[in-house]
Copies of this chain bind each other. A is one copy, B any other.
Amino acid sequence: MDFNLTVEQQMLQDSARRYGAEHHVFTAWRARIARGEAFERKSWANMAELGWLALNVPEDLGGLDATPVETMVICEALGRHLMLEPFVSSCVIAPQLLREAGPRASELLAAIGAGEAMVSVADAEPDGRFNLNHVATRAEATPGGFRLDGVKSHVLDGGVADGFVIPARTSGAVGDADGVSLFLASADTPGLVVEPSRAMDNRVNARLRLEGVTLGQDALLGEIGQGSARLAQAIDAGVVARLAEALGAMEAAYDMTLSYLRTRSQFGQPIGAFQALQHRIVDMAIACEEARSMTYLATLSLSGAEPARSRTIAAAKARVSQTSLFVGRQAIQLHGGVGFTEELAIGHYLKRLIMIDMAFGNADHHRTRLAELSRQAA
């Protein structure tokens, strides 16, 4: 029952926060966005040097094989400083899918840890909403390997990825858990069309069209037809990492708002003297406490057993979404007009939080997931 960080974890936290504060000054961030750069390659290289990118890479591939807590600490800083590096895609989700999945995967995993590759998972399809088993993309066996056809409607960080993990159906019907296989494809594979777009949080995602994408045998990750469970586990790890990101972003928005209430004057006194605003920010403070508690629980649960693991993650995703959207919206409201401009970070935090809510299933989706799990447990 001890929820405190170890000394090493605390050092990592300090270093991540310092990095964010120094390298991600808001004015510089806005200038980068204006130039159409979600993040600087230089920063990615820095992060590689700091060892962050290798946190989830096995030791024998040069990685640190760290616990979910280290990932949480990094992601909190990413959220707090609006960093747009594809850390969760490449360094949290992808490594889960590439571990013990053959020599090509290991090579790529080492490259991820070294900052030399960025990999996204193409988990969403049209008409599938947030159902991971809704895989209509087909992978047909060919003499030399596989041929993939289909559409992936949304790939997080897909616009900056060098490679993709692509779930495709080798058997069964759309919606089945069985029959989903995972394939590795580099972004420049012929027939793979990457259609990037910018999200409201300035992350560059993509849609993929697979038009006769031909892959070799070595592109298959793990057992054929058995990719579903592994995909779900990897996405859960990504969900938890993004909760930490949301926590960092909402606490930053809360901190900015509290200091605004203390310093901004209207009607001859700081607006923080008005009781209605005091009670509002108290509710925001409570929301942050709830989100931090849920993020801790979800992080711990990642290493735990089912069904507690899934129930905690589902509950955490829903509650962090709900509380963080409340904080993000009220942060703007309490700032008034300036909170609505692009010139203050406050609106960018809300947009980030909206995108985190939507990623891998929104609050409602995960609440329903919890409802199902609770019925099964009862």
Report which A residues bind B (CB closer than 8 A).
274-276, 278-279
Shortest Cβ gap from A180 to chain B (Å): 34
Separation of A278 and B274 alpha carbons in the complex (Å):
12
In the complex formed, the residue of B with least CB distance to A273 is B275
Copies of the protein in its oligomer: 2
Shortest Cβ gap from A277 to chain B (Å): 8
Separation of A275 and B275 alpha carbons in the complex (Å):
5
Q: Classify the interface of chain A: helix, strand, loop or mixed.
A: helix
Shortest Cβ gap from A85 to chain B (Å): 42
In the complex formed, the residue of B with least CB distance to A282 is B276
Can you report 6 residue pairs joining A to B where beta carbons are below 8 Å apart? A274-B275, A275-B275, A275-B276, A276-B276, A276-B278, A276-B279
Separation of A279 and B276 alpha carbons in the complex (Å):
7
Separation of A41 and B99 alpha carbons in the complex (Å):
82
In the complex formed, the residue of B with least CB distance to A277 is B275
Separation of A118 and B6 alpha carbons in the complex (Å):
75
Enumerate chain B residues within 8 angstroms of A278, measured Cβ to Cβ. Answer: 276
Enumerate chain B residues within 8 angstroms of A274, measured Cβ to Cβ. Answer: 275
**Nearest 6 Cβ contacts at the A-B interface:** A275-B275, A275-B276, A276-B279, A276-B276, A274-B275, A276-B278
Separation of A54 and B261 alpha carbons in the complex (Å):
61
In the complex formed, the residue of B with least CB distance to A274 is B275
Shortest Cβ gap from A209 to chain B (Å): 33
Separation of A275 and B276 alpha carbons in the complex (Å):
6
Shortest Cβ gap from A329 to chain B (Å): 17
Separation of A278 and B275 alpha carbons in the complex (Å):
10
Separation of A279 and B280 alpha carbons in the complex (Å):
11
In the complex formed, the residue of B with least CB distance to A279 is B276
Enumerate chain B residues within 8 angstroms of A275, measured Cβ to Cβ. Answer: 274-276
Enumerate chain B residues within 8 angstroms of A276, measured Cβ to Cβ. Answer: 275-276, 278-279
Enumerate chain B residues within 8 angstroms of A279, measured Cβ to Cβ. Answer: 276
Separation of A270 and B153 alpha carbons in the complex (Å):
59
